[in-house]
Amino acid sequence: MSQKPNLPRGMRDFGPEQMTKRNYIFQNIKDVFQKYGFMPLETPAMENLSVLTGKYGDEGDRLLYKVLNSGDFLGKVTSDDFTSGSKEVLPKVSEKGLKYDLTVPFARYVVKNRHELTIPFKRYQMQPVWRADNPQKGRYREFYQCDADVIGTESLLCETEIILMINEVFEQLGITDFTIKMNHRKILNGVTEYIGAKDKETDFLVAIDKLDKIGMAKVKQELVNRGLTNESVEKAEQVLNISGENLERLNILKNVLEGFPSGEEGINDIESILAMVQKFGLDDHHIELDVTLARGLSYYTGTIFEVKVNNVSMGSVTGGGRYDDLTGVFGVPDLSGVGFSFGVDRIYDVMEELDLFPSDKLTGTKVLIIHLDQTSFEYGLGALNRLRRKSISSEIFPDPAKPKKQFSYANKKGIPYVIVVGSEEVNTGLLTFKDMHTGNEEKCTLESIIGKLSID
């Protein structure tokens, strides 16, 4: 019985049309990263589990793909280990894992190569990552991230440039209705002090991180279940429900968190970032101070970002923040960093939903040479060579075939122009040039055609 060639859940193939669209997104992001002085970097698909574990919280550790050791991977496991459970077995059968994100491997790279790097070090990466998550719309087990990080500086210019880059990328992609949600870990720290739950900070953050999914009522119940008092929960609700323009929200927070140094420091940072954004000529209508934003990753220590495209059936498409302590777990403390990641797969889905891919920029082959006999085929080869020397993406139909079949090939591939070569064209040097979209035909020299295709 033959086996069906199925893919594992959460994994995908990308055909030529999809790859053309994906590469359009990648190129736009790459251009912006490089404009802001970021250099490319790659890290391996696999890292040691000792590098990966403990950086993403318990939930993140659970979603790590573990890779079995080579050879007899059960050789070191005893029957007692099986009785004790997976925590005893896992370290003996798996020492490596697929990377969960690009940030932790980046921090590992920085520590390993710190004596050769120019600090501040700015890098971007565009690579796949893997998470053993439950696949659903916009959530895959293998997906690409496009990260930009700066490490070795505490300057809030870095956070400002993140906002500028997000805005520029979305502008280039034609995404106009989006919100950059921003918060600060120290504001959240201040809130936990204000509500009298400093010793329950982790419980507080885990619960409010679910606010979008389960709503305020269930978050309040979870906070109570996690040991917060009813009084603390009611005070938390008041803070989490603040609304208005960014300036209004900041003023409310200033009053609420007055006397709590951590919260005051976070507010000052947000104010400085918003002021710097305006100095670059960008208003803050896309930016929203959201006190409920508490990204689940445990390594953020400063500003937190999350970007959502409005009025589409999709979650966040971009996220990031400052992580002052990340390299400390690798033995090099006090290297402050900040970065963010574009979720290319989600951006792709958004652009499909909003029909934002520009057809004129997604064409692979620009012109197909159609030949009517062997002589015209050989003539067409010379024309093909000249077209390609002018950097015009071009093909010639490879087999002897009726014109109908060759035209059908051009239509199916979405090739916008064809050149028809027959005995008359070979004798006169005037080629039939057809626009496949309009159906218009004209007789032109090859040089004239090259000129038209170079302008188009």
Region for residue 335 given its phi and psi (left: phi exceeds 0; alpha: psi -120 to 50; beta: otherwise): beta
The average pLDDT across 83-104 equals 75
Of 98, 87, 83, 171, residue with least CA distance to 129: 98
Higher pLDDT, 295 or 412: 412
* Residue 68 bridge partners (DSSP): 94
Q: Which domains does the chain have, with CATH numbers?
A: 178-309 (3.30.930.10), 363-455 (3.40.50.800)
Return the half-sphere exposure (C-beta side, CA atoms, 13 A cut-off) of residue 440: 4
What was the pLDDT predicted at 63?
92
In this structure, is the dihedral angle defined by the CA atoms of residues 429, 430, 435 and 436, taken in order, positive or negative? negative
Is the pLDDT score of 79 beyond 80? no
The DSSP secondary structure of 175-244, one letter per residue, reads: --SEEEEEEEHHHHHHHHHHTT-GGGHHHHHHHHTTHHHHHHHHHHHHHHHTT--HHHHHHHHHHHT--S
Q: Model-level pTM?
A: 0.85
pLDDT at 268: 97
Instruction: Over range 329-339, report the average pLDDT.
Output: 86
User: Could you tell me the sign of the dihedral formed by the alpha carbons of 236, 242, 247, 251, in that order?
Assistant: negative
Residues in the chain: 456
The pLDDT value recorded for residue 315 is 80
287: β partners? 180
Nearest to 295 by CA among 134, 129, 183, 170: 183
Please name the amino acid found at residue 413. Answer: K
Mean confidence (pLDDT) of the chain: 90
213 pLDDT more than 90:
no
- In whole angstroms, what is the distance from residue 195 CA to residue 206 CA? 16
Is residue 298 pLDDT above 90, yes or no?
no
> Which of 340, 326, 342 is CA-nearest to residue 110?
326
Residue 174 phi, psi (nearest 5): 85, 10
> If you ran DSSP here, which 8-state letter would residue 360 be given?
G
Instruction: Identify the three-state secondary structure at position 311.
Output: coil
pLDDT the model gives residue 210: 85
Contacts of 221 (CB under 8 A, 6+ apart): none
Q: Please check the confidence at residue 251 and state whether its pLDDT lies above 80.
A: yes
Residues in CB range of 111: below 8 A, 6 or more apart: 327, 330, 331, 332
Top mean pLDDT of 133-137, 309-313, 369-373 is at 369-373
3-class secondary-structure state, position 31: helix
pLDDT at 360 over 80: no
Q: Are 431 and 425 in contact (CB under 8 A)?
A: yes
CB 60 within 8 A of CB 10: no
pLDDT of 326 over the 90 cut: no
In whole angstroms, what is the distance from residue 66 CA to residue 278 CA? 45
Per-residue pLDDT band at 68 (split at 50, 70, 90): confident
As a whole number of angstroms, the distance between CA 420 and CA 383 comes to 11
CB of 162 closer than 8 Å to CB of 352: no
